[in-house]
Amino acid sequence: MALISGVLFVAVVFLTSALSGIFGMAGGLVLLWFLLLLFPATAAIAVHGVIQLTANASRAWLSRHFIEWRIVALMTCGVITAALGLLLVNYTPNTVTVSLLVGLMPILVWMPKAWFHFDAARTSHALGCGFVAGGLTIAVGLSGPLIDIFFIRTSMDRRQVVATKAMIQVISHGIKIVFYLGAALSLSQGEWTMILLAAPFAMLGTQAGNRILQRLTDANFRIWTRWIVTAIGGCYLIQGLAMVV
């Protein structure tokens, strides 16, 4: 990885971690898009998992008092089940598939809340969220907007939502790294050195974003999340369609 790409990579890791620290998911979308420009899809998803695990772990630690551990445990069971299913079918992603699927995700944030009757606090819904969202995280790298629809009807405030999502993302990204371990090990020593050097900046970015989160109201948090995720998703969709054409 060239020096200029390395410096840019560190900057992107910091800024996207800060973005995720505020909104819980938007930063991961931007980071994966950047990684797809540098690596094949399998390697990009693996590297994304390493950085996002670091960022989410620091975010979960900073908000640890707000984590709903029962929900995390139930979702984890769903994630493991989805991972085993993808392993059995020998699933392998490509950049076009990832771009198109991620590009369509923002549709979920615009659908009326009345359409969804999911509540992550309910056992069956938490398991379903872990299975569907966890499977999507492994299949295309992330699933932030999908996870959100399971938190719409909970009584949790923005801090509990961000903290609980961060913890389940730590687990999901950890499983994702193991799933794509072969692709991760194919990267050069220089590339991994830069990735590991960038990891602390993920934590610094998360801390910066967390400070901003504390100043946001619940209403502004939801409005900004919707528009930012939509804009990023649009970029993914255009990229995917351009590759198909």
Check residue 72 and give its pLDDT: 95
Residue among 25, 177, 39 nearest 105 (CA): 25
189 alpha carbon, distance to own chain's centre:
25
Q: Are 226 and 99 in contact (CB under 8 A)?
A: no
By mean pLDDT, which of 22-31, 122-131, 168-177, 196-205 is the weakest? Answer: 22-31
Check residue 8 and give its pLDDT: 84
Q: Looking at the 3D structure of the chain, how many domains does it have?
A: 1
Domain that holds residue 141: 3-244
Identify which of 94-98, 177-181, 216-220 has the greatest average pLDDT.
177-181
Check residue 5 and give its pLDDT: 73
Note if the pTM is more than 0.75. yes
The answer on pLDDT for 97 being more than 60 is yes
146's tokens: 């999908």
Listed in sequence order, the DSSP H helices in the chain are 3-23, 26-38, 41-62, 69-88, 95-104, 107-110, 123-140, 144-148, 158-179, 181-185, 189-213, 218-244
By mean pLDDT, which of 43-52, 55-64, 109-118, 178-187 is the weakest? Answer: 109-118
**Per-residue confidence at 138, pLDDT binned at 50, 70, 90?**
very high
Higher pLDDT, 237 or 128: 128
Check residue 25 and give its pLDDT: 63
State the average pLDDT over residues 122-141: 91
- In angstroms, the Cα distances linking 242 to 42, 95, 237, 238, 239 are 20, 11, 8, 6, 5
Residue type, position 184, single letter = A
Check residue 2 and give its pLDDT: 64
8-state DSSP, 66: G
Check residue 91 and give its pLDDT: 92
The DSSP line for 74-118 is HHHHHHHHHHHHHHHTT----HHHHHHHHHHTTHHHHS-GGG---
pLDDT tens-digit readout, 201-223: 887 887 788 777 777 776 677 77
The answer on pLDDT for 1 being more than 60 is no
Separation of alpha carbons 133 and 143, rounded Å: 5
Separation of alpha carbons 236 and 245, rounded Å: 14
By mean pLDDT, which of 40-44, 76-80, 102-106, 112-116 is the weakest? Answer: 112-116
Separation of alpha carbons 148 and 189, rounded Å: 37
Check residue 139 and give its pLDDT: 92
